[in-house]
């Protein structure tokens, strides 16, 4: 809390006057309350959950803007811990060029930087598994620390081209590590995303990206584990259309890791569709993740072997549900899901979520 108070004081001092600062500083709060049932081939569990609450301060001064995302979330010991998810300072030079510095959501695909940590804004209870955050087993470096530039380039009657380019610390030594202060190998990651936003149909987005990094991966989980260098290339394509009461997002991801002359490839894809009738949105999502075999991971990919989902193998899953927009501050979601693991087991889930934003 002292850090949050210090931010507020700094924002006031930098704004020029107290009255001016108070009119340009905002504080939003996001969170959710859930009930989750999970059944696999041998056990059934159910829990009420208060998994997270988030403070989201923002400030603007002319072309300069600032935001922070401070999350209080529950860890595996049932205790709340503090996690600073984003810290950004941005300057808007023009529609063609904006500069951002700090910790931001990496511009990979559509979902990762369109939907942040507040569950109110996303249509389903959870994020698609391939774009979950680092500590939740996602396939991507969801957060980056570095420099981001973006802009919109008009293409006349065709529409517009939006670009995002990033230089960042890149991955840590394990999939759940975010390099907030120390880059383990001094090698930087480079990311480029291009999107075509055609004039017709208005609202359609067609995009692709390439992310390149060199990972100094830990061979074991020991603190003094030896390291090996892994070259990472992430290629992706996405489509999104969120207009006229339609919600459509589809993404494909290919993560290639090269150690020496051996390359292992992990692939993921999902598509989600919803349609809003007044305040009710029925929706469905299907997704697929294909990991290399465990033998390949053990032999050639010590980094992804430690991914939270890799040891269970490849899977296909689907969820469906209803989202009720109670107000501008509250959404209630009822959802059921089914996951089929390649190893032959199945997981069934049910969830009720009250997500708020104010």
Q: How far is CA 84 from CA 52, 158, 203, 248, in A?
A: 13, 40, 32, 30
Q: What is the residue range of 217's domain?
A: 2-357
The two three-digit tokens of residue 1, written as one number: 């809390």
Does position 266 have pLDDT exceeding 90, yes or no? Answer: yes
* Confidence band for 68, pLDDT divided at 50, 70 and 90: very high
Rounded Cα gap, residues 157 and 148, in angstroms:
28
Structural domains counted in the chain: 1
pLDDT score at 141: 96
Structure token pair of residue 298: 């053990």
Q: In whole angstroms, what is the distance from residue 131 CA to residue 318 CA?
A: 15
Domain of 187, CATH number, reads: 2.40.160.10
| Cβ 172 vs Cβ 187: under 8 Å | no
Alpha carbon distance 251, 110 (integer Å): 7
pLDDT of residue 198: 96
Q: Work out the mean pLDDT of the chain and round it to a whole number.
A: 90
pTM score, two decimals?
A: 0.90
pLDDT of 223 above 90: no
Question: Residue 87 — pLDDT band, cuts 50, 70, 90?
Answer: very high
Structure confidence at residue 299 (pLDDT): 67
340/138 Cα distance (integer angstroms): 18
* Rg value, the chain, Cα: 21
Task: Specify the higher pLDDT residue, 298 or 102.
Answer: 102
Task: Reply yes or no on whether the pLDDT at 345 is more than 70.
Answer: yes
Q: How far apart are CA 127 and CA 112, in angstroms?
A: 9
Residue carrying structure tokens 């090698």: 187
What pLDDT is attached to residue 20? 47
pLDDT for 330: 97
- What was the pLDDT predicted at 349? 97
Residue 301: both structure tokens together: 């990919």
Q: What is the mean pLDDT of residues 160-177?
A: 95
């Amino acid at each position: 809390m002292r850090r949050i108070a210090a931010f507020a004081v700094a924002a006031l001092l930098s704004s020029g006057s107290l009255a001016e600062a108070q009119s340009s500083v905002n504080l939003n709060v996001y969170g959710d309350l859930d009930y989750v049932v999970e059944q696999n081939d041998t056990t059934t569990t159910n829990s009420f959950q208060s998994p997270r609450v988030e403070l989201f301060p923002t400030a603007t001064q002319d072309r300069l803007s600032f935001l922070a995302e401070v999350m209080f979330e529950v860890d595996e010991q049932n205790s709340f811990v503090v996690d600073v998810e984003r810290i950004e300072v941005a300057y808007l030079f023009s529609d063609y060029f904006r500069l951002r510095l700090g910790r931001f959501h990496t511009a990979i695909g559509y979902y990762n930087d369109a939907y942040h940590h507040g569950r109110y804004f996303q249509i389903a209870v959870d994020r698609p598994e391939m774009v979950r955050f680092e500590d939740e087993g996602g396939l991507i470096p969801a957060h980056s620390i570095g420099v981001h530039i973006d802009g919109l380039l008009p293409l006349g009657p065709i529409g517009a081209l939006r670009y995002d380019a990033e230089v960042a610390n890149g991955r840590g030594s394990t999939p759940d590590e975010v390099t907030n202060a120390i880059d383990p190998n001094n090698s930087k990651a480079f990311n480029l995303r291009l999107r075509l936003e055609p004039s017709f149909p208005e609202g359609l987005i067609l995009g692709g990206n390439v992310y390149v990094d060199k990972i100094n991966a830990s061979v074991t989980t020991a603190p003094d584990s030896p390291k090996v260098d892994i070259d990472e290339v992430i290629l992706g394509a996405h489509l999104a259309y969120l207009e006229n009461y339609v919600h459509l997002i589809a993404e494909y991801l290919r993560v290639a890791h090269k150690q020496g002359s051996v390359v292992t490839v992990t692939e993921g894809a999902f598509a989600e569709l919803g349609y809003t009738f007044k305040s009710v949105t029925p929706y469905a999502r299907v997704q697929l993740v294909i990991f290399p075999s465990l033998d390949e991971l053990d032999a050639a990919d010590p980094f992804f072997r430690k991914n939270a989902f890799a040891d269970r193998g490849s899977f296909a899953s689907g969820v469906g549900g209803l989202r009720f927009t109670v107000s501008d501050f509250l959404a209630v979601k009822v959802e059921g899901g089914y996951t089929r693991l390649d190893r032959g087991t199945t997981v069934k889930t049910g969830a009720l979520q009250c997500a708020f934003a104010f």
